[in-house]
Structure 1
Amino acid sequence: MPRVMVLYGSETGTAQDVAEFVQQHAFNRQLLDTQISAMDEFPVAQLLAQCSTVVFVVSTTGDGEAPENMRNSWRSLLRKTLGPQWLAGVRVAVFGLGDSSYAKYNAVARRLQARLLQLGASELIDRGLGDDQHAYGYFGALNPWMEKLWAAVLQLYPLPEGVTVDDSPKPIEPRYSVIVHDAGAQEVQQAKLLTPGMDSSSFYAPPSTTVGREKGIYLAPVVVNKRITAEDWEQDVRHVEFDISENSSTTEPPFRAGDIAVVYPENVTGVDDMLQYVKLSGDTAISINAADGSKQFDLPSPITVRDLFAKYLAILDDMIQAPYYFNSQTEEYQWDKPDAIDNAYLTDSQTSRKRKEWLEEQLQDPE
């Protein structure tokens, strides 16, 4: 088993990003056998008790629920047959990702830590809780937590003599390969015609095989969509009403507690700027694959670049810390140093809430 095992539970990929950040810092400390895995891809029931040091990075989704890729392992940890000494000798460190504006803030990390201790694990360091409401997002808690983590880890696994830690940001290997097709939009249209269940006209329409009360999904038109926050307030909060009369029944309610409504967003701005940035026509057809061939994406293939930017990529989201690549030493200092957070080194004129939209950042320094 590796000296340090990093396990994550991630719904949208953020916790996985943090876990990979932890792994890279472990490599920087000559812990080159450090491994990383989604919790459900790791045989928790068989191997967790054999680990020596485990770092957990988990997010909270929905109403305090565990991410999809850790639910099976979480259920495994809840088995009553596991005794209070099952994890004796295992050191754990837990970091959670959440949003303190929600009632069940970081509920998954709290529950996980409590259960690990019940099973006999010992805490390597105190639990860390990242908060999206922090001016620096989850990095406001992650950076100081990481300082404590590596101080504790190096007590267990000291650096070889003469070796120093280098946490300076580094370029990362590409994770994905992009294939540009010559036929362009015509090839995409042909793929739509040949792919069963692929709607050739609407991104929003779910496959016909999933729609209908008996299949668990039905459609409802929006009849009210009005803003309920002041126009000069930064958050646009909406009151939305749906007409579900066609799906109502005299024998059962049209919805039950726990049902969800899915909203498919589309970037209405920024797409042309992105196309200009990547120097591609919106009609260019591409395919995206994992560089190592390990993943299949829930993404049409081929797809036009315009559709990719408009419907699938969050090009207008706040920029998160890019730990391994910077264009200047100034950027490196601002983003990577914990004292930059403590001293509010970044100004509001540089970022919004100390962060930036990704697209804005790229267009500012296109080279």
Structure 2
Amino acid sequence: MTTPPPLSSISLAIPEQLQALPHVLDLINTFLMPKTIDAAVYNDLHRVVGAYGEFRLWTVGAMDGAAARGRLDLLRWLRTNRTEGCSTEAFTGAAANDHLNTLMWLCFFYPYLFDLERDLTTAARHGQARIVDFLKGDVLIAGEVEPAMEAAAANGYVDVVEILLTEPFVQNLTRPLLAAVRNGQIAVVQFLCDKSLQRLYWMDSDQAFNVALEEGYTNIAAVMIRKCHLNSVKLALESAASRGYTDIVMMILDRYMLDEYEFAPALEKAALNGDCDMIELVLENCALPIDTPAEREHIFSTTVEACLGAAVKANRVDVVQLIVKKLGPDDYELANAVKESIENEQEEMAKFLLGLLPQVVPSFFSRLPMPDGYIQNTINNAFYFA
């Protein structure tokens, strides 16, 4: 026979009208016929191999598929009866699926296809601790084990990370730490942090903390904050406030004594986002009231204006009261808030703000007593001419 038999499923699937057209059947048969016999070989489809084996290509895919399935018996048969051999896929397939005996056999007969870093990383990525433990004995430099640690950390395999940490070449844990953080693997993060205390490993805790905030993993950020430098924490407060992470903001304010210039950026970010709840949270938990207006620099004045503007826009009288108590706005900042409340037609807010002016500049109002109904008349005139 010079041509393979047609697929029996074709005659069963197509309408009877088309079965009278032989060339149509041939075209469909040619289109559906696999190019290689490999899948039939490693899936033990003996009748298919018997019927089509001499008409289809035999490639390295047969041995690769057998290795991925741990079919050591089939690998031996193929090596004895065929000449196609295997590819690197056989090694990665065996490593990924925990077929240790198969991998050892491949390393013995096809050593030129073995790649330690590739196969170790593949096993680590799939959490195959037995394979990792077997392969790590051949590690000679840190560069061979670091990608594997990164892969294991990213997928949450603490046991594999622990096996790889026994290598004396491993000193820097930054890459696996960042991989774990980016993928939300808090168990790995906690494990690496604990290990760094037991041995002189180095890790960039500040970068990991910032990545956790960027990715929204506040539970991991809560773990990393304990290992961060103070400067990173100050920057993180601004980032957490801008993203609305109240738990992280509370943790920072509870653990660290920050002055006004250190939490001012967080206030400004919250104000720009219109997040009055965050403004309130920061102000309620900051240690002391801000210095008097005369002692403040211009850069902090912009923060006060932003906070007042956000509170006025949201019509949050309670937040305005807190801002006045904690930040002590001057008459210029208060006047701008009054102007904004009038433009927004917020009569009650404008009345409240005007009532604060005698507290802000008492010396001026003590020399110029206000007649009864002065504030209400001012409000009425402002809304009349607005």
Q: Normalized against structure 2, the TM-score is what?
A: 0.18
Structure with the higher helix share, 1 or 2: 2
Pair member with larger Rg: 2
Structure with the higher strand share, 1 or 2: 1
